[in-house]
Structure 1
Amino acid sequence: MAKDSSFDIVSEVEMQEMDNSVNQAMKEISQRYDFKGSKAQIQLEKDSLKLTAEDDYKINAMLEILKGKMIKRGLSPKCLDSGKIEGASGGTLKQTIEIQKGLSKEKAKEVTSHIKELKLKVQAQIMDDKVRISGSKIDDLQKVIQSLKAKDFGIDLQFTNLR
C-alpha cells in the first residue's frame, strides 16, 4: 500500500522582504520631484503599514510605488488590506494598511469547498491558519495545486511541505 502524500496551503509574508520593499520605496519617494519637501512617509509596524502624506494623491502614489517594490522582491500585493484615508495632525492624511498573514477561517472554507468541487480523491483539513491536503496520488495533489493557482481567492497562496 502506498503512503499518502500531502502538502500545506498557507498565506505567509516574508517580513524581511517587506522591510526591504518599504526602505526601497522610501528611497524612491525621497528622490522624486513631486515629493520634494513633503512629509510623505511609510512606516512598517508589526503587522501593518502606516502611510502619511499631505494629500490622497501622494498616499495613492506611495502605495503604488510600494506595490511595485514588493513585486520586484517577490511579494504579492494581495497581502495588503488597505484601510480608508483619514485626517491626521499637522494637516496631513494617514492610511493604515494591514498585512494579512495566514488563512482566515472563511478563506480556508472557501479553499476546501473549491477542492471538494474538483471531485478528486484528496482530503482537505483546516489546521489553524493553513489547510493540509492529503491523497494517495501525487498527480491528484498537483491537479489541486494547478486549480488553486488558476482561481483567484483574493489572497496570496503558497504551497509548502509537499511530501
Structure 2
Amino acid sequence: MASEHSFDITAAIDKQEIKNAFEQAKKELDTRYDLKGIKTEIEFSEKENIFKLSSSSEAKLDVLKDILISKLIKRNINSNAIKELSKENGAMYRLNLKVNDSIDSESAKKINKAIKDSKLKVNSSIRGDEIRVVSKQIDDLQSVMRLVKNLNLELNLTFKNLK
C-alpha cells in the first residue's frame, strides 16, 4: 500500500465531446418547429474554443444558447465552463460563448487557498494548469474533492490520477 496518495485537479474538457454536442445542437436546429423560417446559425472555432451563435431575433438567440448548453450538459460538460464573451445587436443578433478548459492562475490560487484554509492534512501545489493534492489518507483527498466542487468556480473541474 502506498504511503502517500495524490490526485490532480484539472479543467480539461474532451474536445470530441464538445464537437459531438455542437453537432447535436446543429441537428436540433434543423428540426425545431419554432425556428423554421428564422435565420439561425451556430459555428464552433476549435482553436479558440468559441461558439458563435447568430439569429435574426434576440429571443431565438436565447433559444440557441439554451439548446447548445443543454447538449453540452448531456455530454458531462459543466455549464459553468461556458462564459459569455460578447453580445452584439443589429440586423443580426450575435453571441460568442467561450469554453473555459484550463485553470487560470487566479482560480488556481483560489483553489489552493481554500485547500490550505480547510486545515486538512494535505499538501497542494500548482503545476501549470493543474493542481496536485497529496495526502497520507484517501479520506482527506475525498474531503478536498468535495470542498473544491463546492467552490462554484466557472470551470469544468475534473479529478484525475487518483493514486
Q: Distance in 2 between matches of 1:149 and 1:96?
A: 26
> Following superposition of structure 1 onto structure 2, how do residues 1-40 of structure 1 map, counting pairs within 5 Å?
3-40=3-40
Q: Deviations over 1:20-49 (max 9, x none)?
A: 111111111221122112221111112111
* Amino acid corresponding to residue 134 of structure 1 in structure 2: V
Number of the residue aligned with 1:116: 116
Normalising by structure 1, report the TM-score. Answer: 0.91
> Following superposition of structure 1 onto structure 2, how do residues 128-147 of structure 1 map, counting pairs within 5 Å?
128-147=128-147
Cα pair 1:13 1:79 within 8 Å, conserved: no
Number of the residue aligned with 2:72: 70
Cα pair 1:121 1:135 within 8 Å, conserved: yes
> Following superposition of structure 1 onto structure 2, how do residues 92-107 of structure 1 map, counting pairs within 5 Å?
92-107=92-107
* Amino acid corresponding to residue 71 of structure 1 in structure 2: I
Structure 1 position 158, deviation (Å): 0.6
**Which secondary structure state, in structure 2, belongs to the residue aligned with residue 97 of structure 1?**
strand
Q: Distance in 2 between matches of 1:92 and 1:153?
A: 32
1:160 paired with 2:160, answer yes
Task: Please list every run of at least 4 consecutive aligned residues from structure 1 whose deviation after the TM superposition is greater than 6 angstroms.
Answer: none
Q: Distance in 1 between matches of 2:76 and 2:141?
A: 24
Structure 1 position 63, deviation (Å): 0.6
Normalising by structure 2, report the TM-score. Answer: 0.91
Q: Distance in 2 between matches of 1:4 and 1:72?
A: 35
Number of the residue aligned with 2:151: 151
Structure 1 position 83, deviation (Å): 2.0
Number of the residue aligned with 1:82: 84
Identity of aligned residues (%): 32
| Count of residues paired in the alignment | 161
Cα pair 2:84 2:98 within 8 Å, conserved: yes
Q: Distance in 2 between matches of 1:96 and 1:153?
A: 20
**Which secondary structure state, in structure 1, belongs to the residue aligned with residue 37 of structure 2?**
coil
* Amino acid corresponding to residue 59 of structure 1 in structure 2: L
Structure 1 position 87, deviation (Å): 4.0
